[in-house]
Amino acid sequence: MIQRLIRLAMEARLNAYTPYSNFTVGAALLTTDGTVFTGCNVENAAFTPGNCAERTAVFKAVSEGYKEFEQIAIVGGKKGEQPKEYCSPCGVCRQVLVEFADPKTFQVIIAKSEEDYQVYRLEDLLPLSFGPESL
């Protein structure tokens, strides 16, 4: 499943809209029932309205009625190039993931290729997070 998610993230990355940074990111989010939602980063001339690949995937899933997730694979790097580094989710995306995923079990897969990847628990990427159970 990890290789499949990475492959889907790589495919989604091809759709990234990044005329300003030329840094393209793709994400593939696995729901608890096995459905996968993909996303890419979408930039904007005014900069702040842009959206990350991870949040694009989460918002697509939530808008389709899915709110329980198990894993997300993320692939990012310079447009048209194989990733040289692992692309980890930004702080905002980590916070959005905490809203819908159990930080103790949800896995974040950051990949350079289908064979070269790292797996982290969301809790390790966003310790002491403020989530729905905090209210």
Number of neighbours of residue 91 by Cβ within 10 angstroms? 9
Asked if residues 42 and 69 have their Cβ atoms less than 8 Å apart, the reply is: no
Closer residue to Zn ion (CB): 50 or 123? 50
Give the CA angle between residues 6, 7, 12 to the nearest 5°. Answer: 95
Asked if residues 132 and 99 have their Cβ atoms less than 8 Å apart, the reply is: yes
CA distance 79 to 130: 34
**Closest residue to Zn ion: CB criterion:** 52
Integer angstrom CA distances of residue 52 from 8, 62, 105: 16, 15, 22
DSSP code at position 113? S
Contact code string over 41-80 relative to Zn ion, x by CB under 5 A: -----------x----------------------------
**Is residue 90 involved in binding Zn ion (CB under 5 A)?**
yes
Closer residue to Zn ion (CB): 3 or 86? 86
Which one of the listed residues 54, 81, 114, 133 is annotated catalytic?
54
Compute the least distance from the CB of residue 11 to Zn ion, in Å: 19
**Is residue 93 involved in binding Zn ion (CB under 5 A)?**
yes
Closer residue to Zn ion (CB): 3 or 42? 42
Compute the least distance from the CB of residue 39 to Zn ion, in Å: 10
Instruction: List, by residue number, the catalytic residues.
Output: 54
Residues contributing to the site for Zn ion (CB under 5 A): 52, 90, 93
